[in-house]
């Protein structure tokens, strides 16, 4: 499996949950914490992110940055630890 991860700008996130539904891996959920604007923000709740960018695409506030293991490391079948 290709591995990926995301970084959420928790101050920008408004907790609309659209990314949670968009995620095919069900990797995302709302945090119990709230940001300074009073919104619960999104976070990874499972370590199965594939870096497919679906969450970032539907995010209205551009709060999500997506990373994926490089093509190089996929080719070399490097071991990935999460």
Partner 1 sequence: MINKCEIEDLELVYEKPKTLTDTPMHYCPGCGHGVINKLIMEVIDELKIQDKTVGVAPVGCAVFEYRYMDIDMIEAPHGRASAVATGVKRVNPDKYVFSYQGDGDLAAIGTSETIHTVNRGENILMLFINNAIYGMTGGQMAPTTLIGQKTSTSPFGRSVKNNGFPLNITELISKLDGAFYVTRHSVHKPNSVRKLKKAIQKSFEYQKENKGTCFIEVISNCPAGWGMTPLKSNEWLEENLIPKYPLGDIKVPTKN
Q: Which residues bind partner 1 (CB under 8 A)?
A: 3-5, 11-12, 14-18, 21-22, 31, 39, 43-47, 49, 51, 53-54, 56-62, 64-73, 78, 80-82
In this structure, what token pair is assigned to residue 22? 């968009």
Q: How far is the CB of 50 from partner 1 (least distance, A)?
A: 10
Q: How far is the CB of 2 from partner 1 (least distance, A)?
A: 10
Query: What's the number of CA atoms in the CB half-sphere (13 Å) around residue 30?
Result: 14
DSSP 47: S
The span from the CA of 27 to the CA of 67, in Å, is 14
């Amino acid at each position: 499996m290709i591995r990926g991860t995301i970084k959420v700008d928790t101050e920008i996130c408004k907790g609309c949950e659209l990314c949670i539904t968009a995620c095919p891996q069900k990797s995302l959920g709302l945090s119990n914490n709230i940001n300074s604007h009073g919104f619960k923000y999104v976070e990874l709740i499972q370590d199965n992110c594939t870096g497919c960018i679906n969450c970032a695409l539907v995010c209205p506030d551009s709060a999500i940055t997506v990373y994926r293991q490089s093509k190089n490391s996929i080719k070399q079948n490097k071991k990935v630890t999460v």
